[in-house]
Every structure is written in C-alpha cells, then in structure tokens.
Chain A
Amino acid sequence: MTKLTVSTSPHIHSDFTTRKIMSMVIAALAPAGIVGIYFLGIRALLVIIACIAASVLSEYLWQKIMKQKSTVGDLSAVLTGLLIAYNLPPTIPLHMAICGCVFAIIVVKQFYGGIGCNIVNPALAARAMMLISWPVAMTTWTLNGISGATPLSGMKAGMISDMPSCWNLLVGNMGGCIGETCGVLLILGGAYLVWENVISWRIPVVYIFTAAILSGIFNHGGDAHFMYEIFTGGLLLGAIYMATDYTTSPMTAKGQYIYAFGCGLLTALIRTWGGYPEGVSFSILIMNVAVPLIDKYTEPRILGAPKSNFFKRMGAK
C-alpha cells in the first residue's frame, strides 16, 4: 500500500478556489464586453487584448524578478486587465492603456504584497491615474464615427434632448467606456455571480439604489428619468464588479451595508457637485481606503458573547 497522508482536519474541501472565482467573474463580464465591441467597433477588442496581455505580463515579470512564486495562474491579473479595458474609451492610445495596466499590477497590487494585500482596487486606481494624466484621451467618446459627450456629462450640462433612447440605454448603444454601456448584460452577469454565491447582493443593490435615490434628491439630472442615473456612466460596472472586489471591500454583512451606502452617497455627491462627471471610480477608491476601519467596527458578535451596543464598543476600543 502507498504511504498515507497525515494532516489536520478537515479532509475534504469545497471546489471553490481563487482561480474558479476569478474565471466566474470573467465569464460574467464577457457578454457585456462583446456587446461593447459590437457597438464601439473592433478597436475596443484591441484595447481589451492589450490590457489583459500587459497586466498578465507585468505580474509575471515582476514576480520573476522578485523571485516570488508566480500567481498568474489564479487569473486575477487577467481580471484586472479586463476591468481596466472596460473602464477605457475605445479610442484610447494603446501605450496609455498599457501604462495603466503596469501601474495597476505593479504599483497598486505588487508593491503592497500581491493578491489579497492591495488597499485599493487596482483597476480603479489605474483609471483614476489615467484620468488625471491624460484627461482628454480619457474623455473623448466616439459613437458611429461621431464624437460627443457621454449621456452622463450631457445630463450634467442639462442637454436632456441629446439623451439616448431608453432602448439604446438598456442595450448599451451610447457613448461610454468599452464595458460599461450594456446595462442589461452587466446586471445579468451580476445576477449569475450572486446566484453562484461568488458575490453577495448587498454591495451592488445598496450602492446602486443609494446613488440613484440620492441623485434624485440632489436633483442631479433635472427632468431626466432616474433610470438614466443607473444606466449611464460606470455605476453598474462599478457597483457589481469593482465595489465587490473581495480584497478591498468589507468582509462582514454589516460592514458591506455601510461601505455600499458610502459608495452611493459619494457617487451622488460627486455626480451632482463634483468637477468630474464621473463619480463611481473616486467613490469606490475612497471607500476602499475606509475598509480597514469599517472592518474593525463591524466585527461579528461571537456566539454567546454579551450583546453590546455600537457606541459601547466604539468606546471600548
């Protein structure tokens, strides 16, 4: 008989692995990207390929140089590259896209210790960096050969008559980043992830409704339908796929409610009164930084521990 393995319990394991989670998220994102390519042109595909290649390659080379074990196989770099591409306009020069990916993987992820250790979402940090570095290239939108404002900036400027029709809004036939326009497929992908228990419904639902309702209260869109608030800009992509990034979101249910509400509030504030039309990236980045604090104050009550109220616990620490 062969040698028996001796180790501590448990001796069986669920088939959920990091790699499986990442591939499920990629699968959930894929349909929206395909529709993005359909409406925005083949150049969008080029950007997606360049971003994924740059992300994977920079992770691989960095770990090679630093003599670390390669984690390319967990597919998290692929996901980061995909999310960066989804957050870029299809007309972006490729060298800028590649710069963003290298920044995301090396500065935001690897400098902090690699997967699981980054304090902000790498894809969003890259987008923010690029928005500041190349503001023009990052906000030039062309649809069917005509460049114009995104619906969100149009809303801000009060150009309601230029808004896409409701149908175009749902399927994503409007100006915007590669992956953020097709709202219906983004929602379906999110539903799949919730169904498969990859993410919880808490962050996307609380985030989206907080942002929409507060924007309405702040009278951001004027007479525009509140559906425009949800289906334009990066709200769906951000709330479903980026705010839910495990590493940079709270781990407990209570923490997730607080975090999602914070994201929604900031998004509405920035959209209404901020200098940029787009509030999602900055809101999520700011809330990412607050996660350690949220985690600290939302520790679950251990079974059998006395029920203490929130203020008492704040005082105790």
Chain B
Amino acid sequence: MNLPTFLGGVHPPEGKALTENKPIENLFPNEPEEFIYPLSQHLGAPCAAIVKKGDRVLVGQKIADSEAFVSAPIFSGVSGVVKEIAPRMTIPGSLDPCIVIENDGKYEKAPSLFEELGRNPSPDQYVKFVRAAGIVGMGGATFPTHVKLSPPKDRAIKWIIINGAECEPFLNCDNRLMIEEPDEILKGLEYVLQIFPQAQGVIALENNKPEAIKILTERNANSRIKIMPHKVKYPQGAEKMLIWSVTGQEIPQVPALPADVGCIIFNTRTIWQIYQAIAHGSPVTERIITVSGDAVNNPKNLRVPLGISVKDLIVECDGFIEDPVKVIAGGPMMGLAMRSLDVPVVKGTSGILALSKKLAYLSEESACIRCGKCIEACPIHLEPTKLDHLVRLRDYESFEAHGGMNCIECGSCAYSCPASRHLTQSYKAGKAAINAKRQQAAKAAKEAAAKLEAEKKVEQKVEVKN
C-alpha cells in the first residue's frame, strides 16, 4: 500500500514497544507534597498569579491568568493551600516564578467553567471556552490553542488535521489516548468542525499504531472526518510535513503559518482537551505522560495532575535500572535534557525518558566529510552542513539568505551525521542570533522614531514661540 509521506526524514529506532501495550495508569498522590506551577507554561505572555500565599485552592481552580491575547490561564491540578509564590527550578533548568501548592490529597473539585460561561455553548462560543480552559498545544509546542482557532478572517480554513503521528521515538501517550478514548477525540474534532463549516477533518497517524487506526475507523461515523495512516518516518508529525502529506500543499517559507494554506493542526491531547472544555467545562488540570527509556525499570503511561514532580513519576515506575546519562522531557529527537528531577510536569510535558550511556548521544564532533546525509535527511530541504558552517563563521546574513530560519529543529540532520556534528545546536544558535538582531533593530527603530517625534515637537514649540 502506498501511504502518504514526505521527502527526507530519518528512521530512528522506535523504542515504542516498551510502553505501547501498557494501559494508562493513574498517579494521583495522596500524601502532602509540593505541586509546582510555573507562571509560563506556553508560548506567549507569561501569566500573573491570581492567588496568594495561604489561599485554599481546588482542582480546576484558576490560579494564574493574563490579559494578553497570546497566553493561556493556569489551573491547579490538586486541592490544597498555596504555600508560596517563588522562583523554582523548571524543566529547562532555569529558576522561574512558580506558584507552589501543598497538596491535601483530597482532590476536591472547583466548579466547572459552565458556572462562569453558561451551559451548552454554541459554536461561536467555543473559542471562548478553549481560552478559558487554558488549552495550549499539548504535543510540546504549547502554542495557545484559541489563537490557532482565531485565524485571520481572509484565510478560509479547509483542513482541520489532528496530529496523532507521534513520530518521536519512545512516546506512546497520544497512541494510548487514541486507543482508550477515541470517542472524546472524534467529538472534539466535531466541535472544531462546527466552528469551521467548510473544513474537512483528518486524523493523521503513523502506520505503527494499528490498534488506534482500527478503533478510530470503527468509531468514526462522521463523513467529514477521515482517518489517514501515514508511512512511519520521523518527523512526520511536524506541521509542515503533515500538511504536505495530507493536503499536498507546501507552507510558504517563514513566517507563513498553516492557516495561510487553509490548515489548522491540533495534537491528539489538545483536541481531547477541547472536548473536555466544551462538553464538561473542564480546564487543563492533568495530562498523560509516557515514562520510558532504557534506564527505567518499569516504563509506563501515566495520567498525572499537572505540577507533580518528575521524581514522583520515576518512583512510580520503580526507579532506574542503572544511572541514566540523560533524562529528557519530551522525545529523544526534540526534547529537553534536564539537569534535575526536582522539577514539575507542565502542560507541554509529553514524556519523561531516561536514557543509559548506550543510547544517549554523547559522541565527539569530527570534521564534516561532505557525505550529504544531512541534506538527504532534512525534511525542509535545507543544506544543513552549509548552514552549520555559516553559523560557525558567525555569518548570520548568509545563514538567513540560505533559508536557515526555516529550520524546524527536528534533529534529523544531527541524528544522521557520521561526524556527529552538532548541527541542530548550530541552527538554534543561528536563529537565536538573528532573532536577537531583529529585536534590537526593531527597538532601535522605535527609539529613533520616538526621538524624531520629540525633536519635531520641540521644533513646533520653537516655531510657535517665534
């Protein structure tokens, strides 16, 4: 069978077998312990705390919010007392402002979103519910979902694509969710299709999830929804790859967005949250996490309240077989390496992986031999080795001219490089340098404009005086 796919990409070892047949288990600790909620769990403006030290909070109670459009409120995953609002270590390894809640183990629920927004919302109210529920891209990108649901008026949305590809090795949280709660996902998609009456719904998965494909196909009764298996290849779940293989369209170069080609993409868990928000008025208070890797004793798929410590997850999985060299939040291709396990789970944490020395990538760089494997691997069709060279020369202008800003940081090039060049690291540095430069230029332009304005005013005053 000729399954849809894209050009480029790599085939990393899947590692899915460790957890693919393990049903989701609940982990809701009853002992008093700290649950930590960073004020920034999404792309966009950080939130401000709306509770204070000593307040009692309930499960699903809003504890932080922001006025900004590109932002999403944060909810407590446990009931208990606010212990403090202070900087704590988070997954990226930095100290960020956090709300610390002492869990009382009762899991008392706060009133649903319906109390505030009314029951049985109509489709034009859905976006408001999504915003109120604090939904962000749960696959890890954490882009606020209500922003995606509000595309510019001149963009006709023709495709709503549910990303169930889960192309990252080891992860199974989306796979298990599709197997165990297919109806919620289908209904969530139906809600979104009601917002966009012209759109076709697609659930895209990789062909290595036969159980999920079967169950979704059986349960789907809606002619506007299509279940679409794809070839197994990393990074099938990247936005640009998915749009290309589902619709045959290429997203123009940066800064174009999926909406520019009539597409909106949601992660499986995101669409599940949309269902929960609209059908039950529930906000984002928990998530499913795959705890896996070759250094974990008993890999599992866990449903946990947000804010729980990563250490608790590891303990629940019976600890480590051997000391891991790396512990990663997310998948091994794009995830973040953590420096401590005393960090909280946030909305975008899809997996916790502990890798042994055997698997973790630690090899030393050697010279590029121009083999072209990175060019073959790049799903965006860049020339990674050339871009790497330009970044090392700090020639950011040429980096940009050769399309460096289009890099999606999927890691395919670095994965396949025989010389172990730290290619992805280079592009991250190059992109950061260019973004910093742009911000600086924008700031300078703003200041110059302000200065000009001030001078004009002075001149006018002088003229008036004269």
Inter-subunit contact A13/B381 (CB<8 Å): no
List A residues 1-47 near B (Cβ within 8 Å).
1-2, 4-14, 16-18, 20-21
Binds B, one of A88-96, A113-121, A268-276: A113-121
Given contacts A4-B327, A14-B415, A18-B366, contact A304 B406 (CB under 8 A): yes
Give the residue of B251, B325, B336 whose beta carbon is less than 8 angstroms from that of A9. B336
Inter-subunit contact B367/A115 (CB<8 Å): yes
Cα separation A21 to B369 with both chains bound (whole Å) = 11
Residue of A6, A12, A76, A249 with most partner-chain B CB within 10 A: A12
Q: Which residue of B lies closest to A3 (CB)?
A: B339
Closest-CB distance, B115 to chain A (whole angstroms): 42
Inter-subunit contact B253/A304 (CB<8 Å): yes
Chain B residues near A312: list those with CB within 8 A: none
Does chain A have a CB within 8 A of B252? yes
Inter-subunit contact B333/A12 (CB<8 Å): yes
Chain B residues near A76: list those with CB within 8 A: 369
Chain B residues near A8: list those with CB within 8 A: 337, 422, 424-425, 428
Chain A residues near B244: list those with CB within 8 A: 303
Inter-subunit contact B383/A300 (CB<8 Å): yes
Chain A residues near B337: list those with CB within 8 A: 4-9, 11
Chain A residues near B375: list those with CB within 8 A: 251-252, 300
Does chain B have a CB within 8 A of A71? yes
Does chain A have a CB within 8 A of B267? no
List A residues 245-298 near B (Cβ within 8 Å).
246-247, 249-252
Cα separation A14 to B362 with both chains bound (whole Å) = 12
Does chain B have a CB within 8 A of A313? no
Cα separation A113 to B383 with both chains bound (whole Å) = 22
Binds A, one of B149-157, B178-186, B353-361, B440-448: B353-361
Inter-subunit contact A5/B326 (CB<8 Å): yes
Q: Which residue of B lies closest to A249 (CB)?
A: B370
Cα separation A21 to B334 with both chains bound (whole Å) = 26
Chain B residues near A14: list those with CB within 8 A: 10, 12, 415-416
Cα separation A21 to B380 with both chains bound (whole Å) = 26
Cα separation A303 to B425 with both chains bound (whole Å) = 21
Chain B residues near A249: list those with CB within 8 A: 370
Give the residue of B169, B323, B366, B403 whose beta carbon is less than 8 angstroms from that of A12. B169
Inter-subunit contact A13/B367 (CB<8 Å): no
Does chain B have a CB within 8 A of A299? yes
List A residues 27-84 near B (Cβ within 8 Å).
71, 74, 76
Does chain A have a CB within 8 A of B385? yes
Does chain A have a CB within 8 A of B32? no
Does chain A have a CB within 8 A of B190? no
Cα separation A17 to B421 with both chains bound (whole Å) = 11
Inter-subunit contact A2/B419 (CB<8 Å): no
Closest-CB distance, A160 to chain B (whole angstroms): 41
Cα separation A16 to B328 with both chains bound (whole Å) = 23
Does chain B have a CB within 8 A of A305? yes
Q: Which residue of B lies closest to A2 (CB)?
A: B323
Closest-CB distance, B72 to chain A (whole angstroms): 24
Please provide the 4 A-B residue pairs with the shortest distance between their CB atoms, ordered closest to farther. A10-B411, A251-B372, A13-B361, A246-B371
A sample of 16 more A-B contacts (CB under 8 A), given A5-B362, A6-B326, A12-B332, is: A5-B325, A8-B337, A9-B409, A10-B361, A12-B359, A12-B415, A17-B418, A17-B419, A18-B369, A114-B367, A115-B369, A117-B367, A250-B372, A299-B383, A301-B381, A303-B240
Q: Can you list 15 residue pairs at the A/B interface with Cβ under 8 Å? A: A6-B339, A7-B362, A11-B332, A11-B333, A12-B333, A12-B359, A13-B420, A113-B367, A114-B367, A116-B367, A249-B370, A300-B383, A304-B380, A305-B252, A305-B403
- Partner-A contacts on B (CB < 8 A): 10, 12-13, 93, 169, 240, 244, 250-253, 256, 320, 323-328, 332-341, 353, 355, 359-363, 366-373, 375, 379-383, 385, 402-403, 406, 409, 411, 414-420, 422, 424-425, 428
